[in-house]
Amino acid sequence: MSKIGRFGDFGGQYIPETVMTAVHELEAAYDKYKDDPQFKAELAELYRDYANRPSMLYYAEKMTKDLGGAKVYIKREDLNHTGAHKINNVLGQLLLAKKMGKKRIIAETGAGQHGVATATVCALMGLECEVYMGSTDMERQSLNVYRMNLLGAKVTGVNSGTATLKDAINEAFRDWCSNIDTTFYCIGSVMGPHPYPTMVRDFQKIIGEEIKAQLMEREGKLPDAVVACVGGGSNAMGAFYDFIENKEVRLIGAEAAGRGIDTPDHAATVAMGDLGIFHGMKSLFLQNEYGQIDEVYSISAGLDYPGIGPEHAYLHSIGRADYYSITDEEAVNAFEYLSKTEGIIPAIESAHAVAAAMRMIPEMDKDQIVVINLSGRGDKDVYSIARYRGVELDEK
C-alpha cells in the first residue's frame, strides 16, 4: 500500500490513470502555494472581505438554560457569504485553480451549497463553471439550482444510479477524465483521492482555529466538546482539526440515520459501513457483501453520501472522534428547536449536529462547554421541512 496521502490505512489515490497526472499536478501546485505568503495573504483577504470571516461564535444562552447542562456556543458558519462553510474551501481551491491557469471549473453538489459556493466564486473570479447535481437533488433543492443559474453556472442533472450526490461525483470524475487539460475539479468535501482530503481540510481548518481563539477570549479555556455534522465531513474536519492535539476536547460527528439505522433508509456510514475503496479513497462505505455501493437516504441532501472522508475514518479508528447517528425526526426536531429557541434556522444538515449536541448537553456539567458548528443556514430547507410536517406551502 502506498503511503501517499494516507491517514493510517485510509485515503490513497485510487483513480483512473487518465486523471493521475492531473492529480499530481494539483498536488504539486498545492504543495507550492499552501505555505506561499502571497497566496495565504490573498486567501486571508478573500476570507475576510468576501466570505465575511471570522464567523461569529455565539453564546446560546436560552438554549443553555433550557437544556440545563453544559454551556452552548454556536459557531456561525451559516453567516458566511452563500450561507455555509462551503465557501471557505471553494475560495481556497479556486484561487489555486487560477494560479494553475485553469479556466474551467467543475463541481458536484448534493444539497446545492457547494454548487452555489462554486458558482459564486467562479462569478467572482471570471471562471467557467459547470455543476453536476443528481436529478433527485435538483428536485429537492430547486431554489439552489436557480441560484446557481443566476450566478452564471451551468447545472447538469445526473440521472444515473440513484441520481444523488455520489452519482454527481461519478459524473464529475467522468467529465474530468475527458477535459483534463482545461478543467479543475473543485471537490466539495474532505474526500476523493489525495490531495483533496488534506487540501479541503486545510481550507476548512480556519473554523476550528477561530473557535479556539474566540472561546479562549470569551471563556479563557478550551471547549469540552465540538460537535459537527458529517456527510463527506468537511465542516467537521474543519472544526475538529485544530483540536485533535487537545485530547481533552471531545470531537463528535453527527451522521444521518435517516429513518433509522435499523432500516435500509439511512446514510450512517460510521455506524453501519465497512472498509472499502471508492471515489479515489480507502475509507468506510455503505455497501453490500460484493462491494456494490448502497443507495443511501437522508432528509438532508447534503448528508446522504454512502462514504466518509478518510481522515474521519481514521479518527474513528483510533477513537479520537465519536460519531452519533441522528434520525430525520431528531434532526427536524432540532431544526425547529433552534429556530424557536435562538431565532436561528439551521440547515437541515447542521440540525443533525444540533440534535447530537442536545443528546449530550443535559448530561454535562454547567461549567462545561459544547461548541456546535452550525455549518449552514436553513432557508433552503424550509419547503422540505414543511413537507415533512405535512404542511402544504403555496409556492406561487
Partner 1 sequence: MKNRIDACFEALKAEGRKALVTFVTAGDPDLATTENLVTEMFDSGADLVEIGVPFSDPIAEGGTIQRASLRALKHKTNLDQIFEMVSRLRDTTDKPILLMMYINTVFRYGTEKFFDNCKKVQIDGVIIPDMPFEERDEVKEYAEKTGVRSIYLVAPTSKERVKMIAEESKGFLYIVSSLGVTGTRSEISTDFDELLAPLKEGNYCPACIGFGISNGEQAKKMASYCDGCIIGSAIVNIVEKYGKDSIQPVGEFVKSVREALDS
**166 vs 352, which CB is nearer to partner 1?**
166
CA-closest candidate to residue 165, choices 331, 288, 300:
300
Q: How far is the CB of 321 from partner 1 (least distance, A)?
A: 24
Q: Which of 166, 311, 375, 380 is labelled catalytic?
A: 375
Q: Which is nearer to partner 1, 176 or 324 (CB)?
A: 176
CB of 314 vs partner 1, minimal distance in Å? 17
Residues that bind partner 1 (CB under 8 A): 1-2, 4, 12-22, 160-161, 166-167, 170, 173-174, 177-180, 274-280, 282, 285, 287, 289-293
Rounded least distance, CB 23 to partner 1, Å: 9
Catalytic choice (71, 75, 86, 102): 86
Q: Is 375 a catalytic residue?
A: yes
Please, which residue, 76 or 166, has the CB nearer to partner 1? 166
Query: Smallest distance from the beta carbon of 387 to partner 1, in angstroms?
Result: 28
Of 305, 317, 321, 238, nearest in space to 268 by CA: 305
Residue 129, beta-bridge partner list: 105
In the complex, what is the shortest distance from the CB of residue 1 to partner 1, in angstroms, rounded to a whole number? 5
* 117 phi and psi angles, rounded to 5 deg: -60, -40
Which amino acid is located at 182 in the chain?
Answer: T
Cα–Cα distance, 285 to 283 (Å, whole number):
6
H-helix or E-strand containing 27?
A: helix 17-33
The verdict on whether 86 is a catalytic residue reads yes
Contact partners, residue 101, CB within 8 Å, separation at least 6: none
Q: Considering beta carbons, is residue 167 or 342 the nearer one to partner 1?
A: 167
> Exactly one of 27, 108, 255, 342 is catalytic; which is it?
108
Cα separation, 261 vs 283, in Å, equals 19
Q: Which is nearer to partner 1, 295 or 336 (CB)?
A: 295
Which active-site residues does the annotation give?
Answer: 86, 108, 375
